[in-house]
């Protein structure tokens, strides 16, 4: 297996730390000389994912693989799962409580933004079991 592999753990109890993985990945990609537009796509997609893990799932895991032409990100959690995926993917739909909105999130843009900024996007979810999101962004 070629490429660089990274693993991040997103805590579920400290919202202020959500974003640390995206910030770390962003600086690594910068050092690797990845084009800025591609870095921005990766950063935003992963950041929204981290926020989701922190506010909806009680935390989770992120695995990243960087190859010459692609950044692949897998976000997995053992949270409550999503009952209606197509509804969750529509812009403006949110189940976030008021306290999350007061923090600046929960506008129903998280999953749509993740899809928008990734070149490949796949989400699998089972209620009561958890959710797995796979995203890939081309950096060639």
Partner 1 sequence: MTISQILETLNARLLTPEADCSREVHTACGSDMMSDVLAYVKDQAVLLTGLNNPQVVRTADMMDMVCIVFVRGKKPDDLLLSLAQQRGIAVMSTDLTMFTACGLLYEQGLRGGVG
Backbone φ, ψ for residue 64 (5° rounding): -125, 140
Does the footprint of partner 1 cover residue 51 (CB under 8 A)?
yes
CB nearer to partner 1: pick between 20 and 78: 20
- The correct pick among 6, 74, 89, 107 for binding partner 1 (CB under 8 A) is 107
Does the footprint of partner 1 cover residue 109 (CB under 8 A)?
yes
Structural element, H or E, at residue 33:
none
Number of H helices, E strands in the chain: 5, 5
CB nearer to partner 1: pick between 16 and 86: 16
**String of contacts with partner 1 for each residue 61-100, x by CB under 8 A:** ----------------------------------------
Does the footprint of partner 1 cover residue 22 (CB under 8 A)?
yes
Distances (CA, A) of 81 to 15, 33, 100: 19, 37, 18
Q: How far is the CB of 44 from partner 1 (least distance, A)?
A: 5
- The correct pick among 26, 29, 59, 77 for binding partner 1 (CB under 8 A) is 26
CB nearer to partner 1: pick between 104 and 128: 104
CB 77 within 8 A of CB 61: yes
DSSP 59-105: EEEEEEEE-SSEEEEEEEE-S---S-HHHHTSTT-----HHHHTTT-
């Amino acid at each position: 297996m070629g490429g660089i592999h990274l693993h991040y753990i997103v805590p579920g109890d400290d919202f202020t730390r959500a974003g640390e993985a995206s910030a770390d990945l962003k600086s690594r990609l910068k050092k690797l000389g990845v084009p800025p537009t591609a870095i921005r796509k990766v950063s935003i997609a992963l950041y929204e994912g981290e926020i989701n893990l922190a506010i909806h799932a009680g935390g989770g895991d992120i695995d990243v693989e960087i190859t010459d032409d692609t950044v692949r990100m897998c976000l997995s959690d053992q949270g409550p799962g999503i009952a209606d995926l197509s509804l969750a993917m529509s812009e403006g739909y949110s189940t976030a409580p008021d306290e999350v909105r007061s923090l600046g999130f929960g506008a129903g843009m998280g999953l749509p933004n993740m899809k928008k900024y990734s070149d490949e996007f796949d989400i699998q979810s089972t209620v009561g079991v958890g959710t797995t999101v796979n995203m890939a962004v081309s950096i060639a």
